[in-house]
Amino acid sequence: MGRDALFDLLAVHGLLVRKKRRTTITTNSKHWFRRYPNLVRGFTPCGINQLWVSDITYWKAKQQFFYISFITDAYSRKIVGYSVAENMESVHCRAQALKIALCGLRPQGHFKLTHHSDRGLQYCSNSYVQLLNENNITISMTENGDPLENALAERINGIIKDEYLQFCKPANIIEAKAILKRTVKLYNQQRPHMSIGNLTPEQIHCNINLKTEKLWKNYYHSKPNFEHPKITVNKKTHLYNL
């Protein structure tokens, strides 16, 4: 039995294991800054630098937490900007991930680029919004706490943490930055994605003529598409008949 057939069988019987909810909160939406509407609901980019998605996640090290900010191109899945800091305020003040992403834009800039994120303080702050406005980037934000409103950014967080950083325990911020730099390079240049035809993000981002195709399947169905066989029991012999 192959992997897909195995996952189909597990899904039918409700045996797939879902990940636990995270306990560390990285989004503070209780603030007085302006919140923006969700402008990308149902939107599918057809090229690079049309939609950037961003999120902040935590990284548990030896004796402390580090906070990572990613900006990902929704079409190529490439991480175009990233930063790591020892506290949430540093991520907020420097906006390092966004500045790196902006430096990577081509000389002609972009055409109708939208930046999508949650409604956290880091993204609604005056300095961050000003940086987006100065570069003519449209601002879009989630409208509730549903992670599906920023699913791609959440997915990237999970890939980096589960596949690359899970067993990395830096002792300080210098080690954390070095590890994250290597991790992003490996992810962009060597990790294939089934959502882009098993190509790497760097391949798609650097060659816009490559055609992409989704090869993945969704195994988590809201309702089973399989009916269990009816079972009858012979009370005398206790035999089960299908």
> pLDDT (tens digit, 9 = 90+) per residue, 126-183?
889 999 999 999 999 998 877 789 999 999 999 999 999 999 999 999 999 999 999 9
Question: First vs last Cα of the chain: how many Å apart?
Answer: 24
Question: How, if at all, do strands 114-117 and 138-141 pair?
Answer: parallel
| Average pLDDT of span 93-100 | 83
Q: Binning pLDDT at 50, 70 and 90, where does residue 187 land?
A: very high
Q: In the structure, what pLDDT confidence band is assigned to residue 214 with cuts at 50, 70 and 90?
A: confident
H/E segment holding residue 72: strand 65-73
Q: What are the beta bridge partners of residue 72? A: 53, 79
More confident site: 3 or 19: 3
pLDDT digits (tens, 9 = 90+) for 28-67: 555 567 889 999 999 999 999 999 999 999 998 888 899 9
Number of neighbours of residue 161 by Cβ within 10 angstroms: 18
What local confidence, expressed as pLDDT, does residue 101 receive?
Answer: 94
What pLDDT, on a 0 to 100 scale, did the predictor assign at position 94?
Answer: 64
Reply yes or no on whether the pLDDT at 240 is more than 50: no
> Three-state SS for 140?
strand
Higher pLDDT pick, 14 / 185: 185
Q: What is the pLDDT of residue 183?
A: 97
Burial readout 72-111 (b: 16 or more C-beta within 10 A, e: otherwise): bbbbbbbbbbbbbbeebebbbeebbbbebbbeeeeeeebe
Which domains, from first to last, does the chain contain?
32-238 (3.30.420.10)
